[in-house]
Amino acid sequence: MPAPIQKAVLDLVLQVTGGRIETAAPDWLMRPGKQASGKRWPLLRSIYHDLTGLDLPEVLPAGNWRGLDGFVSAAGAAPRVIEVDEGLHFNNYRGMTLRRYPANWPLAYDVKVWIRKSHDEPKTSGGAAKPVPLFPGDSGRHLQRAFRDALADILPLDHGYLPTLRIADFEVKGWINTASARKRMEELLDERLG
């Protein structure tokens, strides 16, 4: 079940865009290996190696899939991945992945803000950090989350999607449940999407 802030953000994006929100991740993002990653495979391999010191398998093992908070589809426009990033999405591993993106990589959020926030919130241990497949060690879940966020930022453009839209909980917490929420979301989306 989505967190209340995630649901509120997705509902407002739906209202503002007039589109529809889907949550099922496309096949190429579910278990993206070498074939689905295409020309981005070398970048993804190097990001994975930076995070783990290991080689990324050409075919990701079963059970290692990712979901999406959603993607928005509006009439006459390509779909766009939308992610609502809570505190756990900001840590030194995420900062590492963000710094590996090619210069001027098209995104519908300010990557510098995300890098700064990842530096400010270096949480990399605790209960949510347990080992998971492909990401062994005490920070496994944090590594996995950082890598999956990178996949959702890097792969969509090569599959006909618009640049990924990320909205952080810290950006909306002060107004998401107020009477001005729709207007504030319109302003945020206008700034991000033009």
pLDDT in tens, 172-186: 999 999 999 999 999
The set of long-range contacts for 187-192, using a CB threshold of 8 Å and a minimum separation of 24, is: 189/13, 189/16, 189/17, 189/165, 192/108, 192/109, 192/165
What pLDDT, on the 0 to 100 scale, is given for residue 166?
98
Print the domain residue range for 36: 4-193
Count CB-CB contacts under 10 A for residue 185.
Answer: 23
49 vs 152: CA distance, rounded Å: 18
The 10s digit of each residue's pLDDT in 121-165 is: 656 555 567 888 899 888 999 999 999 999 999 999 999 999 999
Would you say 5 and 173 are in contact if contact means Cβ atoms under 8 Å apart?
yes
173 CB burial (10 A radius; 0-12, 13-18, 19+): exposed
Please measure the distance between the N-terminal and C-terminal CA atoms of the chain and give it in whole angstroms.
31
Count CB-CB contacts under 10 A for residue 90.
Answer: 26
What pLDDT, on the 0 to 100 scale, is given for residue 150?
96
Count of structural domains within the chain: 1
What pLDDT, on the 0 to 100 scale, is given for residue 117?
94
Element (H, E) at 172: helix 169-172
Label the pairing between strands 162-168 and 80-85: parallel
Mean of all residue pLDDT scores within the chain? 90
Provide the pLDDT confidence category of residue 64 given band limits of 50, 70 and 90. Answer: low
The 10s digit of each residue's pLDDT in 4-62 is: 899 999 999 999 998 888 888 888 888 788 998 999 999 999 999 999 999 999 987 77
